[in-house]
Structures are given as C-alpha cells and as structure tokens.
C-alpha cells in the first residue's frame, strides 16, 4: 500500500507543480516522442488532452501507466504510454498550439523560461516582434485566438502587436485577420505572431527589486530598482509632484518620473517623517547660470531607465505648428491640419548636394503643395531619410534663421527682383536655374511681365495673390512702395542620431557661441553599473554655423573641432522658435 501511494503521488506531483488549471475539466499534455507501432503515425510535438474525471477514475484504479488521450483536431482517443506525455498548464498548451511546427514546439519545450515570460505578457506591454527576419518594436494590443470556432477545448493563443516609431508600416495588416478586426492600427502596422516570435522589451535597467542587504525598502519588478548614495541625488525641479522627506533632519526631495519609471531614493536610517510641499512654477535657467548649473558630468538627464531618444528629446521643446494643404492647380486651400512637427519629404528630382534646412523645407513644401496657415511659435522639422544609409544627404547645413515669409498662405510677399510688394506667384519658376536656389518665386506685375516674356517661360501660369487687409496694390504706379515684413524663426535646438544613439544640441543664450551639447550616456561606471550623463559647452558650433557657406562646404567633417561634426552630419530634428509669437501662444 505504501509503495502504491508513493507511485501515485509521483505521477500526480508534476501536474500540481506545473500549476494546471482545471476550469475546463481537461488535463493537457505534449507528446515528447514518436510512439511505437501501431501508433507510428502520431508525431512528437502534438498537443493532446484527457478529461479530468476520466483521469481521476483511472488514478483510483491505479491504471495510469497508459492514458487514453485525444489529440487536437481529432475526436477519438489514443492509448499512449505516460512516458511519452509531458503535462502542460492550459496557458502553456494554448501558447504551444500557436506554434505551427511540431518540431519547433519540442524545441521551445526545452526553454521553460520563454514560456513563463510569454505567460506573463499582457496588453500594453512593449515588445519586439520578428517579421521577415527582422525584429521590430511594438506594443501588444491583443492576446487570444484567431479562430472564431473550434471543436477543440482550446486553440492557439497569438499576440497582436501594433508596430511603433520607425517600424510603423513594416507589418502585414491593420489589426484584422480573416476579415475580423481584433484591434485597430494604421495600415501595415499590425502583426499577429506566436510567442516564439515575441521578445519582451528589456526592462532590466536596475540592479534589484527594492531589497538591500536582505531588507526590503520598496517593491518593484526584478532588476528595476536602484539604491544610490544620498550625496549622489539632487532635486529635479522639472517634474511635478515633489514631496520632501526628512531623514535625520536632512531634507531630501522625492521625485516620481512622469514618463517612464519611478526613481526611489532610500536610506537605511530608521527615523523618517513625511512632509508635503507645493511646488511653484520654476523659471528657466538664466544664461549666466548655465556654466555653473548645467555644464559637467552627472548633469542633465541620466541615460538609465529611458532610451537615449527620450533623454535627448526632453532636452528640448515641442509645440504645435499649423500646416495647410493647397490645391497645386488653383492655389486654393484644401485642408488645414495641426500637427506637432513637420516631416520633410523630398522627391529625387532635385539638384541639392549640400542643402541648408531652409532649402529642404522650401523644396518639401513646393513638392507637396503646402503652405503655413499662420506663423508658428515653434516649428519642429524632421530631416528626410531613405535608402540603405538612411540619410539622403551626408551633410546638412543648419539654418540659424528660417525665413518662412514665402511659406505663409495669406501673408504679404516681396517681389524677388525689385523687392516691392508682389501680387503674383509662379510655381514653375521655383526650379528655374536663372533664379536663386532658395525661396518661392513672387513677382510684382511689372517684373512678372518681364520674366515671362522670355520664350522659355511663356507657358508659365502665374497665380494672383490675395493681399491681406491693410495692403493695396496701386495699378496706377505699378507697385506699392511699402516693403512687406519678413517672418523669421530662430534655431534653438537640434536632435542628432548616429547609428542608434541620440544626442542633442541646445542654444541657451543670445550670443552666437552660446551652445551646449548633451549626451545622456557619455560614460559608464562598471558593466552592471550605470550611465553617466554629460552636458558640455560647444562654442565651436556657433563659429561653424556663422561661417560663409562656401568656406563651410570645404570643411572636412572628421577634422572639425569638438562635437561640431555630429551637428552637421547626424542632424535629424531641428527646432525653431518665434520669440514674438511665443509671447501670445
């Protein structure tokens, strides 16, 4: 009796240890080896099951050496030796059912950690998904079956992933499968995949789970907690929700990061008291204080829990710009759209070799029949990228001032020849080699008649401008003597990327040389330690930006001083501001 009890318990334990769920009164197995004849047609890797009640009956009769199991997709049972069967939890069985190949199922079975990680995934988790040999970044939007009906007690569980960032549009659907919508996302930005093609985004940014020397101070997932010396912590007044905590009479500010993770500052002393404090609006750092407060290592934002893109992006400002879509034939407004920034798109029919940001913006607006509906307080421009090298241009000259006068839909324009008030625009003249490489082509009546008297331009069709209120065009004199005002934006920040690492440049003062460079991962302490951010002054950037264009074109990037090469060769996002409009918006 004792021997039977031990044997029975030995066969029961694996199910309990696997954490089987009996909500559907089934016990699930995977066949680990090909059965001998007469069942040689059964393949290793198939999923099967037995009713719990039937199993319990055989267990009471001490008849569990051979089990009558039903394979998925079949209706009759098959007697298989228990040594060929490995028990599975319902969740593991569902995940393995989504794996198409039996051989792949057996391979995955040897990696229980992968099954456990997949079981812990939920909607909203950041993951990497494999598609056509590439690992793409996305967010889980759906977890479940892709079958509307099945006679089997369970079906394969797939992960519906919406691709994010630069991987948008590289998928296979819009969240639909077999004419059924499981989640909604942009076209070709959705992927359905088994767990074998899903990798959770690495969250091991810390070193512990809130435990220090065997004592728990707070709770967080494994490898997401950090303990640092109090002397290494500084108050961060950029974030709201600041509270002060007193440790033995010393005041320490606890800040919860509002974007990605929570930073916990802890000490091992006993006495502590919590005092809440309201936070006032904090004014920006004065130009004369930048050297003392910003320049140096361990300044700025530490590249630890965030990506370097987030760190560098937080070093600059994003506001709203308004763009309108024009009818290229009639010049009438089709649609007004508000957006956070403008992605510059370039066709390949251009002659630009060493372009400025001004030229790229004007060519993009021209190619896409766009105009600005109003003067933006902040304009964020993303540079064009395509091809294997991603960069359309090896070097881009940042325009320190962006003249947007010609890009405004309803603003007064200046004749490109005589400088007087214009009342005609010619789209065909934009690419005319006889004119300047920059600017839309606006003319007064007199200059337009002269320009289009040339036989090569007689086929052009200039459009008439609508003058804003307060401006009038005198037909008797042929021109309005008032010079239209110029609307210009100032460059104040640049986000750069080299390979996969982001850094940023920021102009902090009125002088041409008032530039600083920020790298959230400039240095590192130990392999399992932490990154050291650094902010450094880079006055050489201002010197290069104000060089004559011909002299700047002859500069060899690798011979440029300091970090200037990164600005000219790796520039990706340029931020401009209108100080006048910023007063009102």
Instruction: Please give the positions annotated as active site.
Output: 308, 501
Supply 154's token pair.
């369970």
d(CA 189, CA 171): 5
Is residue 4 within 8 Å of 62, Cβ to Cβ? Answer: yes
d(CA 225, CA 206): 5
Cα–Cα distances in Å, from 428 out to 449, 459, 564?
A: 15, 9, 37
Supply 445's token pair.
């009546």
Q: Which residues touch 430 (CB under 8 Å, ≥6 apart)? A: 366, 440, 441
Determine how many CB atoms are found less than 10 A away from the CB of residue 8. Answer: 14
Q: How big is the chain, counted in residues?
A: 585
Rg (CA), the chain: 33
d(CA 24, CA 47): 16
d(CA 372, CA 251): 50
d(CA 102, CA 146): 19
Supply 212's token pair.
């220090």
Is residue 471 within 8 Å of 412, Cβ to Cβ? Answer: yes
Is residue 98 within 8 Å of 72, Cβ to Cβ? Answer: no
Q: Hunting for tokens 């390949």 — which residue is that? A: 348
Supply 145's token pair.
């079956």
Integer distance in angstroms from the first to the last C-alpha of the chain? 86
d(CA 474, CA 542): 44
273: buried, middle or exposed (CB in 10 Å: 19+, 13-18, 0-12)? exposed
């Amino acid at each position: 009796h004792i021997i039977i009890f031990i044997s029975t318990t030995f066969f029961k334990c694996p199910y309990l240890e696997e954490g089987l769920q009996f909500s559907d009164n089934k016990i699930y197995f995977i066949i680990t080896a090909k059965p001998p004849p007469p069942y040689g047609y059964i393949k290793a890797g198939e999923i099967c099951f037995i009713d719990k009640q039937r199993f319990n009956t055989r267990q009471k009769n001490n008849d569990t050496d051979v089990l009558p199991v039903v394979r998925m997709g079949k209706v009759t049972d098959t007697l298989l030796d228990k040594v060929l069967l490995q028990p599975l939890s319902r969740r593991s069985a569902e995940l393995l059912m989504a794996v198409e190949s039996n051989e792949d199922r057996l391979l995955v079975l040897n990696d229980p950690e992968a099954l456990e990680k997949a079981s812990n995934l939920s909607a909203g988790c950041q993951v990497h998904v494999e598609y056509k040999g590439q690992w793409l970044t996305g967010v889980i939007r759906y977890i479940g079956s892709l079958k509307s009906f099945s006679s089997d007690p369970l079906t394969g569980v797939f992960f519906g992933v919406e691709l994010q960032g630069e991987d948008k549009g590289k998928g296979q659907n819009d969240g639909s499968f077999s004419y059924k919508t499981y989640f909604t996302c942009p076209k070709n930005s959705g992927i359905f995949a088994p767990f074998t093609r899903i990798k959770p985004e690495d969250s091991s940014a810390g070193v512990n789970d809130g435990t220090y020397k065997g004592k728990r101070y707070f709770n967080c997932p494994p490898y997401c907690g950090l303990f640092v010396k109090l002397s290494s912590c500084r108050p961060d007044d950029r974030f709201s929700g600041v509270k002060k905590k007193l440790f033995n009479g010393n005041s320490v500010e606890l800040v919860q990061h509002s974007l990605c993770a929570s930073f916990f500052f802890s000490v091992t002393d006993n006495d502590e008291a919590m005092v809440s404090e309201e936070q006032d609006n904090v004014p920006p750092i004065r130009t004369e204080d930048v050297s003392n407060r910003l320049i140096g290592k361990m300044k700025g934002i530490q590249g630890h829990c965030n990506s370097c893109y987030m760190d560098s992006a937080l070093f600059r400002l994003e506001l709203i710009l308004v763009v309108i879509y024009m009818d290229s034939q009639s010049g009438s407004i089709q649609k007004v759209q508000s957006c956070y920034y403008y992605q510059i798109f370039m066709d390949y029919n251009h002659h630009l070799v060493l372009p400025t940001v001004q030229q790229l913006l004007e060519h993009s607006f021209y190619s896409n029949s766009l105009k600005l509906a109003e003067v933006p307080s902040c304009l964020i421009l993303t540079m064009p990228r395509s091809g294997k090298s991603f960069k359309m241009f090896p070097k881009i000259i940042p325009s320190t001032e962006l003249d947007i006068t010609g890009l405004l839909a309803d603003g007064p324009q200046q004749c490109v020849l005589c400088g007087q008030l214009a009342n005609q625009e010619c789209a065909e003249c934009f690419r005319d080699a006889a004119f300047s490489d920059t600017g839309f082509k606006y003319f007064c009546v007199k200059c337009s008649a002269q320009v289009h008297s040339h036989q090569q331009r007689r086929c052009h069709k200039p459009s008439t401008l609508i003058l804003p209120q307060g401006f009038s065009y005198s037909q008797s004199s042929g021109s309005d003597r008032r010079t239209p005002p110029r609307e210009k934006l100032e460059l104040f920040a640049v986000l750069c990327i080299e390979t996969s690492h982001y850094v940023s440049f920021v102009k902090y003062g009125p002088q041409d040389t008032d530039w600083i460079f920020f790298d959230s991962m400039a240095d590192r302490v130990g392999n399992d330690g932490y990154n050291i951010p650094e902010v450094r002054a880079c006055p050489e950037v201002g010197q290069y930006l104000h060089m004559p264009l011909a002299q700047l074109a002859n500069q060899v990037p690798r011979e440029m001083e300091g970090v200037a090469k990164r600005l000219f060769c790796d520039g990706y996002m340029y931020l401009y501001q209108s100080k006048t409009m910023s007063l009102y918006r």
